[in-house]
Structure formats: C-alpha cells, structure tokens
C-alpha cells in the first residue's frame, strides 16, 4: 500500500499545478484577433470650396488617402481638434462669411496651427501662422509689446485679405489655399516653370503637396466625426469663456494690476488677450484697443 502512495502523490501534485501553469503561458493570439485597423474608404465627390478634387488622378487619390489614414488614426489629435473647433469656429466663421471667403477655409486654420497660438520654426505665429512682414502688410501691429497675429479676430481678417488677393491672382480657391502655404510667388513660379495651371498638376514640396489633401480630410472628419469613429458628448467640447469688452486708448503700466481692477487676474486676462505680449501696454500712439475682460460665471 505504501508503495502505491509513493507514486500517486506526485501525480496528484502535478495535476493540481497544471491549471496554474496553463495560465502562466503567454497568450498566442495574434494582434488581429483583438485589434482591427481598417482601411479608410475615400468618399466620392470630395470638394474644397465647391471645387472638385480630381481623385481620378492616382497621385491625388493616394495623397488624400494618406491624410484620411493619418488623421483618422491619430485619435487623440482628432478629438482635440473637434473640441477646439467647437470653441473657435463661431469666431472664425462669421469673419470668413463677411469677407466672402468660403467656409471651408476655417479648416485651413486647423491644419496651420491646430487652432492654437503656436510659433513655427520660421517665425510664423498664431492660428493663421502669419509671418511678421505679411501680418504688417495686411494691417496688423507686430512688435515685442503688441503682436496682433495672436489676436484671432484681427488675424482672421488679415488672412481673408491675403486669400482674396491670392484668389484674384490664380482664379481658384484651391490655388489660393496652396498659395497660403507656399506663397503666391512660390506657387506662380513653379506653375510657370512646369507649364501647368492647376495645383493638382504641379510638382510641389511635400508640405504643400499634402496641404490641400490634409484640409480636405480634416474637413470631412470634423464635419462627420461619428463616421470616422470619434465619439463624444456635447459637454466634452470646449467653450470660450464669457467676457465683456473694454475700449482703451491709454497706457497700461502694469497689466497684472489692471486685471485686478476688473476683478480678474493676469493669467485670465492674458488667456483672452494673447496679443498683449508683456506685462504692460506701451500705446505711445494712443491707439484704441479692445480688451476682453473675463466675466465671472
């Protein structure tokens, strides 16, 4: 009897630990069994500013497809753009409409800056990424104390004037948008050298070649976010803080102190007025500025 027990016990022990050994073995499932990355079907009849996109050209189709893939599967960025668009499009849209600029150009601001006051390596600033010379040419004040490239309403007006001039130069909104990226002279020179008259026929640097396809993809995704897997509730979206406007034609010696006079603080006032670049407003010319003052909720 003891002999039988001596070999039965090891077998019982092994049987007891087998389930634990099985659990410890790493899963051999393939990634595709738990995570699916689908190709994006390019919508038919795409357009920009009511100008059709020639998807029958293989290179255009591939460039557009690239932007749909990149911007659909860059999920975090996509959601941030949707949230910011809800905050800032109500400011941009009426200015475009007033200047007879197609509404689609609001997506140009999206791809230029992600709807943020960013600075490019070349020194372009603000939502519309204006260079200092261009900004001044179209009426903006640009210096160390005041930089209206950071003033969304005024910068949008300046961008509109540039786009109207580019449309007059090239004849189409598509070329006007491309010129915004590469410059009117840059686009004109390349088209003449290559003896073509369409953005979609000219060989351009990669950034400009991607420019219109990126706008087109962003327009489609932000217009129909649920079609591309972006799910959110209305209260997930960003809102512009409530404010009132104060007209001022004098010097502000200390913006922090100025803010306190209106029951707010330096940070809150600067967030609404990023064009004020220092803790003072020199205003030696006694220009009348409109300063946004936060209203307590």
Residue range 16-39: mean pLDDT, rounded: 67
pLDDT at 273 over 70: yes
Domain positions in the chain are 52-236, 243-294
Residues contacting 255, CB < 8 A, separation 6+: 266, 269, 270, 276, 278, 279, 280, 281
What percent of the chain stands above pLDDT 70? 89
pLDDT at 78 over 90: yes
Q: What is the pLDDT of residues 192-223, one digit of tens each?
A: 999 999 999 999 999 999 999 999 999 999 99
Q: Per-residue confidence at 26, pLDDT binned at 50, 70, 90?
A: low
According to the model, what pLDDT value does residue 18 have?
A: 57
| Weakest mean pLDDT among 31-40, 210-219, 265-274 | 31-40
According to the model, what pLDDT value does residue 260 have?
A: 97
Q: Per-residue confidence at 276, pLDDT binned at 50, 70, 90?
A: very high
Residue range 227-242: mean pLDDT, rounded: 96
According to the model, what pLDDT value does residue 42 have?
A: 92
SS3 130: strand
According to the model, what pLDDT value does residue 36 have?
A: 84
Q: How far apart, in whole angstroms, are the C-alpha atoms of residue 40 and residue 228? A: 9
According to the model, what pLDDT value does residue 159 have?
A: 98
Q: Which CATH architecture has domain 52-236?
A: Orthogonal Bundle (1.10)
pLDDT at 7 over 80: no
| Residue 125 DSSP one-character state | B
SS3 52: strand
pLDDT at 13 over 60: no
Look at the block and give the residue holding tokens 């189409």: 172
pLDDT at 8 over 60: no
Q: What share of the chain is helix, strand, coil (3-state, %, to 5)?
A: 55, 10, 35
């Amino acid at each position: 009897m003891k002999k039988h027990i001596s070999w039965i016990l090891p077998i019982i022990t092994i049987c007891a630990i087998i389930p634990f050994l099985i659990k410890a073995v790493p899963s051999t499932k393939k990634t595709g069994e738990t995570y699916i990355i689908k190709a994006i079907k390019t919508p038919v009849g795409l357009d920009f500013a009511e100008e059709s996109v020639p998807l029958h050209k293989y290179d255009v189709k591939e460039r557009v497809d690239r932007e749909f893939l990149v911007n659909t599967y860059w999920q975090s960025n996509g959601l941030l753009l949707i949230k910011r668009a809800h905050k800032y499009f109500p400011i941009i849209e009426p200015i475009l409409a007033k200047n007879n600029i197609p509404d689609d150009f609001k997506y140009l601001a999206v791809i230029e800056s992600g709807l943020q006051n960013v600075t490019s390596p070349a020194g372009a600033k603000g939502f519309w990424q204006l260079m200092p010379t261009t900004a001044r040419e179209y009426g903006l004040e640009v210096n160390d104390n005041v930089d209206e490239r950071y003033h969304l309403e005024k910068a949008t007006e300046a961008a509109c004037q540039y786009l109207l001039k580019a449309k007059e130069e090239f004849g189409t909104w598509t070329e006007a948008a491309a010129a915004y990226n590469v410059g009117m002279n840059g686009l004109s020179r390349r088209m003449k050298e290559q003896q073509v008259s369409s953005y979609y026929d000219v060989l351009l640097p990669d950034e400009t070649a991607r420019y219109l396809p990126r706008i087109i993809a962003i327009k489609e995704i932000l217009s129909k976010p649920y079609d591309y897997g972006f799910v959110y509730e209305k209260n997930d979206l960003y809102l512009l803080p409530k404010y009132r406007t104060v007209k001022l034609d004098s010097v502000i010696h200390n913006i922090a102190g100025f803010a306190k006079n209106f029951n707010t603080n330096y940070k809150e006032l600067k967030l609404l007025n990023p064009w004020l670049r220092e803790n003072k407003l020199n205003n030696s010319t006694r220009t009348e500025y409109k300063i946004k003052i936060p209203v307590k909720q």
